[in-house]
Amino acid sequence: MTEQDDLSPYRKQIDDLDHQIVELLLRRAQAASHIGEVKRRKDEPVYRPDREQGVYENIVKYAAEVRKQWQGEPLPELPESTFRNIYREIMSGSIALEGGPSVGYLGPPGSFSHMATRYRFGNSVRGMPMDTIPEIFRSVANLHEASYGVVPADNTAAGSVGITMDCFLDSSLQIYAEQFVRVRHHLMAANHIELANIRKIYTIPIGLEQCKEWARKNLPMHDVQVVETSSTARAAQMVAETSDGVAIASELASEIYGLKILSRDIQDSSDNITRFWIVGHEQCPPGKKDRTSLVLSFHDEPGGLFRILKPFHDAGINLTRIESRATRKNYGEYNFFIDLEGHREAEPVKSILQELERYTSFLKVLGSYPMGQVD
């Protein structure tokens, strides 16, 4: 029996299954388009991160049920991330059919903000690269420009992004979802070049800093000119335009600008993660696992911070972030940015927020949203 004869029955089985899958995808898309019509009539948001999270949870549960009930040859256990990636694109296409949103992100294309946008909304989203974080806030505030914005919130290595925090103080926009992106840097060029022959690197300072140990061991840094750029994506773009030197950027940037990756994962730490916030005008209802972000300030007096934190401790609520930032109004005045587990409309968080109004001079809830997952 030839190899072709051995493979034929399995290939026939895959063809038959693909036919069924395509039919089911089209039927699912049809149902999604009907949902879109209902949402438009009710003026409800097309994109719902809580519903998206529910779909991910359901498919993992369905996979376990199918494997358990299957009577034939044992089925393989696909990673949860595989199902999430597949369904992200399925939902992205469905949302596009519903008249999907336009999303502003910090550009140019190929940036880590662009990656966060793809991870959250899929490849069918209408992305809008923008030059600054304030521009993203302004474009989303004007509904005719962008439906949502993707802005960096904090990073495990560099901390919080101050300009994002400042923008919330003067904006009515709210956090609608969060997305984590693992920062993976790659060395790339327009054409193949030996590492020992590299004489120019396009990068942002923090990008090179995050790869300094790799660069010290693998590149002749004493002979290398470092050209600072505004972003890693811009570095890749400049290398593509000039065919000169190398860039430190993301894999998405290499794909967009047609660059060859010379070395992968050159970052010194594999635990460098950036959290992005999706900002918009809507809020999700309470779900199974939510996070609330808020900013507050209080009078400078003994026990002030203790009075703020005590209600959370008494209720057993976990604070996942607390950070002070100068108000830039009067010396010694600070705003405190706090992330906590729970939803603003669910107890006990709802009662605690009401109690905090007694002790704060300023209190603003930035949003309650489904907790993201670090892959």
User: Active-site residue among 232, 274, 292, 360?
Assistant: 274
Phi, psi of 234 (to 5 degrees): -65, -35
Residue 2 annotated in active site: no
298 is catalytic: no
Looking at 121, 168, 276, 312, which residue is catalytic? 276
Q: Which residues contact 97 (CB under 8 A, 6 or more apart)?
A: 29, 32, 33, 36
Residues with Cβ within 8 Å of 146's Cβ and at least 6 positions away in sequence, in order, are 101, 102, 103, 104, 128, 136, 139, 140
Angle at 188 between CA 184 and CA 189, to 5 degrees: 165
Helical residues (DSSP H) of the chain, grouped into ranges: 3-42, 49-69, 80-97, 112-121, 133-141, 162-169, 205-209, 212-218, 232-242, 251-257, 304-315, 349-356
SS3 content of the chain, % helix, strand, coil (to 5): 45, 25, 35
Q: What is the CA radius of gyration of the chain?
A: 24
Catalytic residues: 274, 276
